[in-house]
Amino acid sequence: MEVKVTGYENEHFDADAKEAQEKRRSARRRLEEAANTPSMALQRQYEKGLDLTGTVSESERPGRGLKVCLIGTYPPRECGIGTFTRDLRHAICQVADDVQAFVIAMTNPPNNYKYPPEVVFEIRQNQLNDYRLAAEYINFSGADIVCVQHEFGIFGGPEGRYILELLKNLNKPVVTTLHTVLSEPLAGFRVSLIRVANASDRLVVLNSRAIPILKDVYGITEEKVSLIHHGVPDVPFVDPNYYKDKFGVEGRLVLLTFGLLSRNKGIEMMLDALPEIVSVHPEVVYIVLGATHPEVKRRDGEEYRLMLKRRVRELGLEDYVIFYDRYVDDDELREFLGACDIYITPYQSREQIVSGTLAYAVGMGKAVVSTPYLYAEELLANGRGKLVPFGDSKALARTINRLIENEAMRHQMRKRAYKFGRQMTWPEVGRAYVELFRQTVGEFQGRTSATLPLVRASLDVPEIKLDHLVRLTDDTGLIQHATYGIPDRRFGYSTDDAGRALVVTLMHHRNFEDPTALRLATTYLSFLQLAQRPDGRFHNFMNYARQFTDEVGSEDTLGRALWGVGMAVALGPTEGMRALAREMFERSLSALDLVHARAISYAICGLHAFLQRYDGAALVRRKLDELANRLASLYEEARADDWRWFGEELTYANAKLPQAMLLAYQATGEERFLQIGLESLDFLLEQTYSGGQFDFIGNQGWYRRGGERATFGQQPIEAGYTAEACATAYEITEKSYYLEMARAAVEWLLGRNRLGVRLYDLVTGACSDGLDPQGASLNQGAESVICCLLGLLAAARLREKKLEIAATAAVSSATPTALGAAIQSAKAESSD
């Protein structure tokens, strides 16, 4: 249910106690509707914005100066964006007495940060519902304006798109600071940034070079963009020798690099330059200051730091390099920079549009040598620093030696940098932001309802929850059945379910980076490994005593398993998972002598997935072509003008067949496969969609050509697979008809069906096994929840694809007006 909140007006609340109590109840109802079932922690955060009567307290009401909501990471989380957010908040509150600012912090479980009081709300990065709830919180908070610190990596979803869920639900003006602007973005990143820009009233960039990039690459008008420099501490111009004794480097010439450690820092380039430097200037010491970036450490451990230390030993530089492996506070950082004679930023990527560390070094009047990334080119222009080519350690050594030997040149460079940095001090930056905020609020309030653009919600996809899948999964595998929602261990496990569950969890992990999904995927792949026979085929059924009860599974079992393993090759997030999946996949290839249409279709899905990672796998491509031709022949043998199908019956998992043909077309470019795929899908939709809703073929008799079709026993597998097939058809044809059909298939699960009952449980993430004459089945087994999740994931993918198509077309036209119109149109079209 869409919740529209208009915010609190400047009025006196003189309601009696009964009315006040009703206000509070109403607020709570809105919260629950927006969040479906928010956690108690988030609900308590929400309540912080309400006094005991459910109204905004006097100090929180608008009209009392400027109240700013900042969204970004925040200390104690170790993140450059977090430091920026904290310093910006402090700056805007210091430069004007009537400015208040609170923070919505992006957090990344399982980390549990002890935030300071100004952090009033936390958004868990990969929990989509948190973004919706945060918008509700802000709308009730009395904030006048929202300032988002945008960096793709701190938000959940592909290319950080979850932040759009928050932005589209706000009724406040938004100023977005862009910390990354890619000049040659992949399509997904370009579309994501375009949508963020479209949802923002103003954009702030920290580098003037970003402005033409936004115009030429993203189609964003210059009038929407303001340049405000990255803030730096306002400190005196000091002699580096003043601080050196504090770090035990008195009498030495200090080279420094600081910041969270990751491979893009390029520190190995400096290490390779150092032998040539110290051979001439043995007084030099190079300090590498900073902890390993937390996300890098979580993913790769200390691999990069250990490599650097090995390199130091190999080069015999132990007396010339000092690693400080910690995250330092502001005071200590200023002291380190104060002790620095020459600051080095050997970054490897030209795309780096801003660097807080470089800004600090320039602002504090340091001599700087850098590679020519975009931010360095601007900040170090006009003699404020020296640039050397990427990866050229010899040029780096020569440049540093010249600076060491020419103290007058070094001092002039420092003075130019310090003078330029005066416009970058936090008080100056704070004043610029406050001025922009006031201007933006004024423009926002000056609009009439007639001039405000109509913004409708995009395709509503309920929160995709894995709770029931977790409930059905133990350390062996996925329990097949659930009686009244309770796992029924009497029926054990199946490879059929494990293969499809592996597909779902890997897709979920790709979209949401949820560690729970990865843990489940690992369990399912492990089960499939145990189930695979030496000949490449699979057992299907295992009892609760972990004993396989069949000799070999059916063709369908082999196809479903191959689909899951192929997706593990394509989407496996670890090298180990991909390597195991590839071994299993290749072992099964020789067993793919399939004759049944659905088995062939599942196998094509797996082969197509494998080719997404290894496009040059000739054997796999030949096998896909062979099976696709076999499926096409089955279609052509049965086809008639009034029956465009692959056999004489419509039974179960029907939509997987036309989808397989469409995937085969994507892999081969064979027009015959495309024609069959679309023709058979259209036929299936004609047979199952009527009266504004889907009425799938029931399992109590199915539908044989020329006979009567069964009405009940409709199953979620049909909805999930139909949504998937329509999503694939839309991605190929870009026809909105398939978008609507995918939407209707998902909404069948949500109550748009002949009985008007919901099968997907929004609270538990479970799904009823079918639609029976008496209503939704009370049983909630594995196949149902898996196929329901497939449908929900397909709908989420479609929503992004719709906007990507519109944005890409508009950017290609190179007219900013057309771009904005296309995005608005896409949002409207996908909302009904």
Q: In this model, does residue 23 exceed pLDDT 70?
A: no
Q: How far apart are CA 546 and CA 534, in angstroms?
A: 19
Provide the mean pLDDT of the chain.
85
Arithmetic mean of pLDDT, 600-606: 98
Arithmetic mean of pLDDT, 52-56: 31
Q: How far apart are CA 784 and CA 517, in angstroms?
A: 17
227 neighbors 421 (Cβ within 8 angstroms): no
Per-domain residue ranges of the chain: 64-231+433-446, 241-420, 466-591
Q: In this model, does residue 702 exceed pLDDT 80?
A: yes
Q: How far apart are CA 465 and CA 719, in angstroms?
A: 17
Q: In this model, does residue 280 exceed pLDDT 80?
A: yes
Arithmetic mean of pLDDT, 758-767: 92
pLDDT at 247: 81
170-179, 369-378, 411-420, 441-450: segment of lowest average pLDDT:
441-450
Q: 466-591: same fold as 64-231+433-446?
A: no
Arithmetic mean of pLDDT, 212-232: 94
Cβ-based neighbour number of residue 57 at 10 Å? 12
CA distances from 129 to 1, 126, 312, 686 (A): 13, 9, 47, 35
**AA identity, residue 710:** A
- Between 3 and 732, residue with greater pLDDT: 732
pLDDT at 713: 92
Q: In this model, does residue 362 exceed pLDDT 70?
A: yes
Arithmetic mean of pLDDT, 128-142: 90
CATH class of the structural domain 64-231+433-446: alpha beta
State the pLDDT confidence band at 811, using cuts at 50, 70 and 90.
Answer: low
260-269, 329-338, 584-593: segment of lowest average pLDDT:
329-338
CA distances from 134 to 34, 138, 639, 778, 790 (A): 10, 6, 53, 34, 27
pLDDT at 804: 63
Q: How far apart are CA 506 and CA 514, in angstroms?
A: 10
CATH class of the structural domain 241-420: alpha beta
For residues 400-411, one letter each, b for 16 or more C-beta atoms within 10 angstroms of the residue's C-beta and e for the rest, the string is bbebbeeeeebe
Residue 498 in 3-state DSSP?
helix
User: E strands along 151-283, which residues?
Assistant: 174-178, 202-205, 225-227, 253-258
For residues 488-518, one letter each, b for 16 or more C-beta atoms within 10 angstroms of the residue's C-beta and e for the rest, the string is beebbbbbbbbbbbbbbbbbbbbbbbbebbb
Choose the most confident range, by mean pLDDT, from 133-137, 190-194, 262-266, 681-685: 681-685
pLDDT at 262: 81
95 neighbors 434 (Cβ within 8 angstroms): yes
By percentage, how much of the chain surpasses pLDDT 70?
A: 87
CATH architecture of 466-591: Alpha/alpha barrel (1.50)
State the pLDDT confidence band at 829, using cuts at 50, 70 and 90.
Answer: very low
Residue 177 in 3-state DSSP?
strand
State the pLDDT confidence band at 354, using cuts at 50, 70 and 90.
Answer: confident
State the pLDDT confidence band at 293, using cuts at 50, 70 and 90.
Answer: confident
Q: Which two tokens stand for residue 63?
A: 């009209």
pLDDT at 806: 60
pLDDT at 80: 87
Q: Which two tokens stand for residue 144?
A: 């006048």
Arithmetic mean of pLDDT, 725-734: 94
Q: In this model, does residue 784 exceed pLDDT 80?
A: yes
- The partner residues of 421 in beta bridges, in order of sequence, read none
